[in-house]
Amino acid sequence: MFVAVSTMLSGCVSTGTTQSAVSAGEAEKITELARQWGRVPITKDMDHLKRILADDFSVVTPDGNVIDKQDWIALIERDIKEKTNTFTSIEHPVFNVRIYGKNFAVANGVAHTVGKDKDGKSFSRKGRGTAVWVRKNGTWQVVAGHSSRLE
């Protein structure tokens, strides 16, 4: 499975009618949280992932399945433990954040992952993802995501 939602990070911050100087600062916070999220396959920082995913988080995978927080984390932990994929590079040439009000944001972007699968075969994958962020008790968390392959 492509880990696009967990890797959709970095790049530019969208500015437009939904942005202000204050929301641009918040967009930068979300961008940094998302960068760390996207690097989890390399850093293996599962604690970061557990903190930023809301308890009611769900993601639609490229094959159309819906996975909740518990299953998403288990999938990533299993991939890391079993070395299903070994990532050597995770780049995010496109990443946009739009802030709506004080507690709601939508981020989307493109991820390019490079590495080797469990059989040692090299891969280069691109995907697009969207994440819905909500500020809960002063902390930004992801409540929903969607991931698509770009081939």
State the Cα–Cα distance between residues 72 and 95, nearest whole angstrom: 22
The DSSP output letter for 63 is: T
Count of domains in the chain? 1
The sheet that has 66-68: what strands, in order across it? Answer: 66-68, 53-60, 139-150, 122-136, 104-117, 85-100
Interstrand relation of 85-100 and 104-117 (parallel, antiparallel or unpaired)? antiparallel
Domain that holds residue 20: 5-150
The DSSP output letter for 136 is: E
Res. 2: pLDDT tops 60 = no
Structure tokens at 90: 């995770």
The domain that holds 143 is classified in CATH as 3.10.450.50
pLDDT value for 129: 95
11: left (phi over 0), alpha (psi -120 to 50) or beta: left
Q: Where residue 134 falls among pLDDT bands split at 50, 70, 90?
A: very high
Q: What is the pLDDT of residues 55-111, one digit of tens each?
A: 999 999 999 999 999 999 999 999 888 888 899 998 888 899 999 999 999 999 999
Write down the pTM of the prediction. 0.82
